[in-house]
Chains A and B, each alone.
Chain A
Amino acid sequence: MSGALHSQLSLYAAIATSSFRRYSTYTAATLAGIFTNSVFGIILSFAYLALWEQNPTAGGYEADQAVTFVWIGQALLMTVALWSGGSTDELAERIRTGDIAVDLYRPVSVLGWYLAADLGRGLYHFTTRGVAPAIVGALLFGLVSPSPAGAAGFLVSVVLAVVVSFAVRFLFAASAFWLLDATGPRVLLSVLTTFFSGLTLPLTLFPDGLRQVALALPFASYIQTPADIWLGRHTGLDMLAAIGLQVVWAVVLLGVCALVLRAATRKVVVQGG
């Protein structure tokens, strides 16, 4: 039994590794992306500095924390595939073409396969398009560094961010089972993620009411939660609670993914394959 588990785990590790390798072949694209993330980081840093100069405690951040928030956002937007991309795009395409039937007959869980591939991609994007712009930001503006506990919590939170984002993207991609084309839903999803992740503006700056709703949504897991842990706004039990909410969203959303997949499988069989 433990042998079976071990072989399952090594299989998922192999999927993740090959996904990591696949992305690492596009060096020029990665360098171009790092450059672009850095340019946006610089623009937003000046934009935030001007805001915090007028109101030094806006959203409960100080100016240097606000600038750090900008660079964490730029570092994570590819890692969590904020505007889609990653294995879920392939899923949507395979549903459209019908190749998904092959995936369903494989002796591996479809959900596990695509999640492993997306974690491999996320690790690649984190180590390249995450770390490199952050270094640029640190050199140009000087960023706030986390406590050891904050750093550890941040890493856990980022992994959970990728899982939550994956589950959400999986659901939107799976809509192709019924709509045949998932482009429309994908555009609507990027509207939600851009605004409610904290990328355009930290959620703490939202007005009362909207702020509480935004902080409870799964999109807050993408950038706002990891950033607040890095910045030391969640410490101790509060940090565990923030990570706990991410875990809850990850489990609930993956559960829904499994249910949707089961319903969709039945539909594929009905269609006659």
Chain B
Amino acid sequence: MAEADTPAAYLAHAVRSYWLIAALWIRAAMAYPVSFWTMTVGGVLITFLDFVAIWLMFSHIDTYGGFTLREVALLYGVTSIAFRVADMLVGSVEKIGQKVRSGDLDAMMTKPVPVLVQLCADRFELRRLGQIAQGIAVFAWAAPIVDWNPQRLLVLVMTLVSGVLIYFCVFITFSTIQFWTTDASEFANAFTYGGNTIMQYPMTIFPREVVRSLTYLLPLAFVNWYPCLFLLGLTDPYGAPDWFRFASPLAALALVGLTALVWRQGLRRYRSTGS
């Protein structure tokens, strides 16, 4: 990248390019307002009913894994906001295989913008704002159970930023597999959508091994579980160290490093279909 001499300039160039491309897709979507609004409303309804299901579960029980409905809603809200923001930011990354098959990836390689930025901005979907709003609504409903103070607010902000980064990395890492098998895009869903689904529940309903895996292998427990324990003033039933509650940024940084390696490896592995 000739025009980016320093890392800061490179980053600024990447962000600017991202928004230029994203704005293009927003304008394109707005050309079909009826489609845009039905899909936005539909997306909100699907995620809304997703939470209604949890609410209906509570009509048969009082506590779930030792947690009340509002406490579960807090977990749900935090993971949903982080996941949906990440989902909006990754654009066409989930469809790398399709881009390889169609040859679009070759075209992206010739442009003076990093391929990852182009892929993430490609087909940017503004309608995902609806699902983000649903997550915020559930969080807002649950928020009064937390005894808020500046420290807890700071942890919340830190957690949300880390959560977006963690899901963002999960999307990219597992989509990179499509450089090897172009039509296995659904494999990533188990970790992305599956990850968001599993984090909607209190970890107490899962066996210890599952919670360990979600801490050390795929650190999704840092998206909401450990920080929410802090917000609620609870100690970890599985006896994890107390500092885990503040370790979300560390988990996010570790995952960013790993994702960068995997992505580079995948891109290096890439051979155009045209050959």
Contacts and interface: CB of A to CB of B under 8 A. Distances in A.
A190 B43 CA distance: 10
A36 B39 CA distance: 24
Given A43-B198, A183-B39, A206-B56, A54 B183 contact: no
State the majority secondary structure of interface residues on A: helix
Interface string A119-145: 000000000000000000000000000
B61 A51 contact: yes
A200 B50 contact: yes
Given A36-B194, A54-B63, A191-B49, A185 B57 contact: no
B194 A187 contact: no
B272 interface: no
A259 interface: no
Contacts, number: 108
Interface in B202-218: 204-207, 210
Given A28-B183, A32-B184, A46-B206, A207 B38 contact: no
Given A39-B190, A43-B194, A43-B198, A51 B64 contact: yes
B190 A40 contact: yes
A222 to B, nearest CB: 15
Given A43-B194, A54-B63, A32 B187 contact: yes
Contacts of B190: 35-36, 38-40
B45 to A, nearest CB: 5
A44 to B, nearest CB: 8
Most B CB within 10 A of own CB, among A43, A46, A179, A188: A43
Given A195-B49, A200-B50, A51 B60 contact: yes
A49 B61 contact: no
A200 B49 CA distance: 9
Contacts of A205: 56-57, 59-60
Chain B interface extent, by class = 35 or more
A33 B207 CA distance: 25
Nearest to A185: B38
Contact of A190 (B46, B191, B204): B46
Contacts of A201: 53, 56-57
Contacts of B197: 40, 43
A184 B42 contact: yes
Interface in A58-84: 58-59
Nearest to B198: A43
Contacts of A190: 42, 46
Contacts of A49: 205
Interface of A: 26, 28-29, 31-33, 35-36, 38-40, 43, 46-47, 49-51, 54-55, 58-59, 179, 181, 183-185, 187-188, 190-191, 194-195, 200-201, 205-207
22 contacts: A36-B189, A36-B190, A39-B194, A43-B194, A43-B198, A46-B201, A46-B205, A46-B207, A49-B205, A50-B201, A50-B205, A179-B34, A183-B38, A183-B39, A187-B46, A188-B45, A195-B49, A195-B53, A200-B50, A201-B53, A201-B56, A207-B59
Given A39-B190, A50-B65, A183-B39, 17 more contacts: A28-B181, A28-B183, A28-B184, A29-B185, A36-B189, A43-B201, A46-B201, A46-B205, A46-B210, A47-B205, A51-B64, A54-B60, A187-B39, A190-B46, A195-B49, A195-B53, A207-B56
Interface of B: 32, 34-35, 38-39, 41-43, 45-46, 49-50, 52-53, 56-57, 59-65, 181-187, 189-191, 194, 197-198, 201, 204-207, 210
A-B interface, 5 closest residue pairs, ranked by CB to CB distance from nearest = A184-B38, A187-B42, A50-B205, A32-B187, A39-B190
